[in-house]
Chains A and B, each alone.
Chain A
Amino acid sequence: MAGYDVIFHFLGTGLIEVIRLVPICVVLSLIAGALIGIVQTVRIPVVNQLISVYLVFMRGVPPLLLLLVVFFVAGFESARLSAVFTLSIYHAAYIAEIFRGGIQAIPLGQFEAADTLALRFHRKMIDVIIPQVWRAILPALTGQYIILIKDTALVSAIGVMEILYNARQAMQVVYKPILIYAIVGLLFYILCFSLERLSAYFERHLQTMQGVQ
């Protein structure tokens, strides 16, 4: 039937855009979040207060509003760049909290043993603490990145041509809103669901690797 190829084309390119956006945002927010989370556990007076303000701000602001503000204020070359930046700094705040919690859950003895071996701070973190943090925070991280995937739907508001934006384009040609939005939902469902499965797999894998302690 005519029209399905149009729907398929538009939603397919939208899906590809999401698949391109998400990994970049994951990597950026993970790096930023990990650094912020680590800095928080060290307690540096002024820096820590600035971080607290950032965290309270990000907890309170709706991501859609943040997308609009950054888009209009920061003047990135493209809407896509603006979207990547916004989603990354927004989710980095949540990742930072997850990391901080994960680091604080590591027994004090691990820090002391590393200190006793005269390891420098960055080596202590890289070789001893962070590898142990991963397993504990994996479920929380996955949960956050499922939210990130869903938040990519918002970037249509600043004109990034992802699934939802293209759905509206498709509707200009084939007016089947129920069908189109159902497919859009299904695509997101598949993305989120596979991430959840992937994380469950890694969790098991990490467990067999490190044993049960």
Chain B
Amino acid sequence: MDFSWHIITQWWPNILQALGVTVIIFIVAGLLSVLLGLIVGALPSFNNPVLTAASRIYVSIFRNTPLLVQLFFLFYGLPAVGIRMSPFVTGVLGITLNEGAFMAEIFRGNIQSINRGDWEAAKSLGLSHFQVLAFVILPQAVRDALPAVTGQLSIVIKDTSLLSLIMIVELTRVSNQIYTRLFDLTGFSVALILYVTLNILMTGLSEMLARRVQVRR
């Protein structure tokens, strides 16, 4: 593996910008996928066959097909029927739809494992289904889901590298650019280090959250 300080200093502005793009996409798509997962994951609790089926079908489709295929569908497919979005929006949408399915599975499981008694107790107070869900069930389920969610978020970091294939200049693409221009692997070395660092930070954050949650219990 190559590692040349010269190339790093020369390309530093590009690398920094690409890192910024990676991090921003990670944050936006990460937050949106958690939100989407929360909504879809909560649908089965309404005991409405249509909502439950919709949630199931969505999760099954997006979990059992590759993210890259979903991205290409959005990026190359939709313009053919007149829907045009910027690469950035396409990328964020693709990751959100894909990871939303994984997040939904996590939340669904945690909502299901909340004691039935909590539902019954809250409903006997005259709260509506939605109120029970929002004020009693979800706060507990979200807390239980934290470790799994942060684990899934570290996969979202890795997902962002696929956006290099739909014209977004993020870390993977910039390191590939350095290679194709200079036939030098320094860019790849830098990208590897940065991705692994991001993941270690994410793991640290998740362990910290997990400890916090345990203390509060």
Contact = CB atoms under 8 A, between A and B. Distances in A.
Question: Direct A–B touching in the complex (beta carbon < 8 Å)?
Answer: yes
Interface of A: 56-57, 59-65, 68-69, 72-73, 146, 150-154, 156-157, 164, 167, 171, 175-178, 181-182, 184-185, 188-189, 192-193, 196
Contacts of B171: 65
26 contacts: A59-B154, A60-B197, A60-B199, A61-B192, A65-B175, A65-B191, A65-B192, A68-B172, A69-B185, A69-B188, A72-B179, A73-B185, A73-B188, A153-B69, A164-B68, A164-B72, A177-B77, A178-B77, A181-B72, A181-B77, A182-B73, A184-B69, A184-B72, A185-B73, A188-B65, A192-B65
Given A65-B175, A69-B185, A146-B64, A181 B192 contact: no
Interface string B150-170: 000010011111101100000
A62 B25 CA distance: 15
A188 B69 contact: yes
A156 B72 CA distance: 12
B64 A189 contact: yes
B215 interface: no
The prevalent SS among residues of A at the interface is helix
Given A182-B73, A188-B64, 4 more contacts: A59-B203, A62-B195, A177-B73, A192-B65
Nearest to B22: A62
Interface of B: 1, 60-61, 63-70, 72-73, 76-81, 154, 157-162, 164-165, 171-172, 175-176, 179, 185, 188, 191-192, 195-200, 203
A100 to B, nearest CB: 17
Contact of B69 (A69, A157, A181): A181
A196 B59 CA distance: 14
Contacts of B159: 62
A213 B68 CA distance: 42
Contacts of A152: 66
B186 to A, nearest CB: 12
Nearest to A70: B188
Given A65-B172, A73-B1, A164 B188 contact: no
A56 B196 contact: yes
B73 A65 contact: no
Contact of A175 (B66, B72, B80): B80
